[in-house]
Amino acid sequence: MAIENKLQLPCGAVIANRLAKSAMSENIALDGKPHEKLWLLYDVWGQGGLGLIITGNVMVDSRELGEPGNVVLEDDADIDHFREWTSRAKRYGSQIWAQINHPGRQAPAAISKVTVAPSAVKLKIGSLAFRTPHALEEAEILEIIRKFGNTARLCKDAHFDGVQIHGAHGYLVSQFLSPLANQRSDRWGGNIENRMRFVLEIFRAMRAAVGREFPIGIKINSADFQRGGFDEDDAVKVAKALEAEGVDLIEISGGTYESAAMTGVHEARGSATGTMPSLSSTGLQNSTASREAYFLPFAAKIRLAVKTPIMLTGGFRSAAAMNAAIESGSVDVVGIARPLAMEPHLAKRLLSDPQAKSDIGPVKTGIAAIDRLGMVELGYYSLQLARIAEGKAPDPQLSPLLALPLVGFHYASGLLSRLLSK
């Protein structure tokens, strides 16, 4: 099967097979550092036969978090905790990469001391939970770039096999790329060439910190799925620019907090500014792959622009779809996330049985207004990860209603923060 094949990256590193765990926020770090529960979670995933394991958010600054329980790596004070994490994850043959991130304006007011963004443009959702961000000044931008490079260096010291820039889902890098969030008129804003300057400088800082033979990937949106936002043409230009810099793996996703296409709630196969390109060149128009993979049409489009290996995440459930996508030539690595929260060793089945598939479906509370947001899924799967981290099996009978406190955290805690500050 195609997913069994090894993949050599541009830097020379080799991934044992084409199945990757895409990042999911674990939210179980203690004071920003990994510990026994996180070690166990990744030990379990490591036993599952994945070629690549990408962590949830590893934040570059402890003052600016995206969720409670985020991992933070900004100095070497707890480097042994990180080395235990990487050792547990990769002792069965998987590579482990750290996803490096900064939340920008998606930093909840209750847990982050600072909220910054390219421009002082507030999120359209969660008005009580998120502050209006401070528009970054030039020196602050350069300092954040330095922090990305510093965290990449520390990740290499912690024995990660690679790193990934989180440039999707509305976090800071994604904010700089979006003309809706980035309304600057200086060299960091305006046309896409200026808006991509931030991520290119981050990549350069990281490459200088880790060297040419250490893998650096990026996760980018195919589009923000918001009218007037970051679109497919922008994404192609960013991918081409990163390829010229020497990026090793481009993971494609889509959506933001404001339009959660990555959860499958929105029709991600259609663009906010038009329809996705035809799949006639791949022969996948009616295949299982085209039905399952949210962003497959864009992968076909970006493949025409770059030769860099492409990882596609979002919607894959069956070995048949995964093999078809790779055999089409549009995809090099298949990313899986939520299915691994319910079946941590799913990769073993996918690699051994061409008919294997995950049977997970949409997570619904039955409360339409909440289900439309797509956030219940994130809370529900966080609860499943917590079970694995405690040495328990995932529970398919777990009620989605139990995720509501996690969904409401940002809103309720934001209100409390406002009241206490008055």
Q: What is the pLDDT of residues 162-203, one digit of tens each?
A: 999 999 989 999 999 999 999 999 999 999 999 999 999 999
The percentage of the chain sitting over the pLDDT mark of 70, rounded to a whole number, equals 84
Is residue 261's pLDDT more than 80? Answer: no
Residue 404 has pLDDT above 90, yes or no: no
The predicted model gives 399-418 an average pLDDT of: 59
CB 332 within 8 A of CB 8: no
pLDDT in tens, 121-173: 998 765 568 899 999 999 999 999 999 999 999 999 999 999 999 999 899 99
The residue that leads in pLDDT, 285 or 213, is 213
- Rounded to 10 degrees, the C-alpha dihedral 347/351/354/356 comes to -20
Which of the two residues, 73 and 129, has the higher pLDDT score?
73
Contact of 294 with 268, CB cutoff 8 Å: yes
CATH assignment, 2-421: 3.20.20.70
Average pLDDT over every residue of 299-304: 94
Mean pLDDT computed over every residue of the chain: 87
Q: What mean pLDDT do residues 369-385 have? A: 81
Residue 223's pLDDT band, with cuts at 50, 70 and 90, is low
At residue 416, the pLDDT reads: 38
* Identity of the residue numbered 170: G
**What pairs with residue 250 in β-bridges?**
218, 310
Q: What is the pTM of this model?
A: 0.89
Q: Hey, where are the domains in the chain? A: 2-421
Report whether pLDDT(302) > 80: yes
